[in-house]
Amino acid sequence: MQNEEWKVVSKRMAVKPARIPPTIKKHNFQYLNKDFKKKDRSKNAMQNSSENVIYFIEEKMQALKKSEFFQELKKIIDFQLLPPNRPALVDIVCYGIGSIEKSCTSQYQFALMLLFKNLFQIIGKIYAYDPIFSQVDTEVLTHYNIESIKINEKAKRVVTNQTLFYMPHCPLGLYNNLIEANWDRIKLKDVIIVGNRFDFYNESSCVFYALKILKIHLFPSTTIQSPAIPDNTFNDLCWQWFPIDRVDSYKEDSEFWILKRESNEDQEII
Ligand SMILES: C[S@@+](CC[C@H](N)C(=O)[O-])C[C@H]1O[C@@H](n2cnc3c(N)ncnc32)[C@H](O)[C@@H]1O
């Protein structure tokens, strides 16, 4: 820390500094260095080092934890998504989160995923893929022990464990691919998705077809609950999963399990 940073402040000016995460200390991060004040950090967001990005994420995790939005979200998890209400999650697969280095929205979404890791006590792995990931993004993933997926699966991953697919604001084609790849009575029971509401899409999509056996629980509103979180971060997102009784109600209906997909085209998928 540089001495010239210290100055006498009146009580009104005094601001409690954010806790410096141990990871940052480890990297000899100069939190109060005058070359790296808060306003400069956001101004230079386009040219971040992984240490800076990790700092932003830790900051956002703290902000989320304190938010009403997160407290409400936790209630849904506690009462609907943890055992005995659902089987314990093993893995998280994250698609389409955007560049964590460059986007404030992606940083918030990523921070929430890290909080989910603890809430769900993930014992398996976390995987992530977005074709626009930068070198810094990959370093950040490594820092948090998240495996970056090496090939573009276009979300066609078939589940082998209870898996949370964390896909905030993904193109419809990715949701369709995921549903199509797992359109099976046994597999769907292992799938839970955080993403856009499937009931917003039209009848020609796989996700619309899936509505017959899908349970949807909306995310709380950040606008009302936590105005400090930017509006476009978690809007229109929800939990979506396939309760066993709903899936099993189509057990004998072989027609239902033949998915009729009209088109594989989606210009938004890279
Ligand atoms: C509308 S943006 C959402 C970004 C961010 N989650 C947000 O809410 O701002 C859609 C994201 O999907 C990503 N995407 C496109 N094709 C993909 C693919 N094949 N696999 C994973 N992500 C993909 C894009 O790169 C982009 O980051």
CATH number, domain at 139?
3.40.50
Residue 248 in tokens: 């099993």
Q: Please tell me the residue having the least CA distance from ligand 1 atom 19.
A: 154
Q: Is residue 55 part of a domain?
A: yes
| Type of residue numbered 220 | P
Q: What residues make up the domain containing 133?
A: 47-257
- Cβ of residue 195 lying under 6 Å from some atom of ligand 1: no
- Cβ of residue 96 lying under 6 Å from some atom of ligand 1: yes
Q: Is residue 63 part of a domain?
A: yes
- Cβ of residue 105 lying under 6 Å from some atom of ligand 1: yes
**The pLDDT of residue 226:** 78
The CA 29 to ligand 1 mean position distance, Å, reads 30
Q: Is residue 62 part of a domain?
A: yes
pLDDT band at 260 (very low <50, low <70, confident <90, very high): confident
Percent of the chain with pLDDT strictly greater than 90: 68
pLDDT band at 222 (very low <50, low <70, confident <90, very high): confident
Q: Is residue 218 part of a domain?
A: yes
Q: Which stretch of 55-59, 95-99, 178-182, 207-211 has the lowest confidence by average pLDDT? A: 207-211
Q: Is the pLDDT of residue 25 over 80?
A: no
Q: Check the CA dihedral 40-42-48-50 and report its sign.
A: positive
Instruction: State the average pLDDT for the chain.
Output: 83
pLDDT band at 227 (very low <50, low <70, confident <90, very high): confident
Number of domains in the chain: 1
The CA 36 to ligand 1 mean position distance, Å, reads 30
pLDDT band at 268 (very low <50, low <70, confident <90, very high): confident
- Mean predicted confidence (pLDDT) in 59-79: 94
Q: Is residue 28 part of a domain?
A: no
| Type of residue numbered 248 | D
Q: Is residue 175 part of a domain?
A: yes
Q: Check the CA dihedral 114-120-126-132 and report its sign.
A: negative
- Mean predicted confidence (pLDDT) in 30-34: 31
**The pLDDT of residue 209:** 85
- Cβ of residue 107 lying under 6 Å from some atom of ligand 1: no
Q: Is residue 137 part of a domain?
A: yes
pLDDT band at 81 (very low <50, low <70, confident <90, very high): very high
- Mean predicted confidence (pLDDT) in 35-42: 46
Q: Is residue 138 part of a domain?
A: yes
Q: Which stretch of 29-33, 130-134, 261-265 has the lowest confidence by average pLDDT? A: 29-33
Q: Is the pLDDT of residue 146 over 80?
A: yes
Q: In terms of pLDDT, which residue wins out, 258 or 206?
A: 258
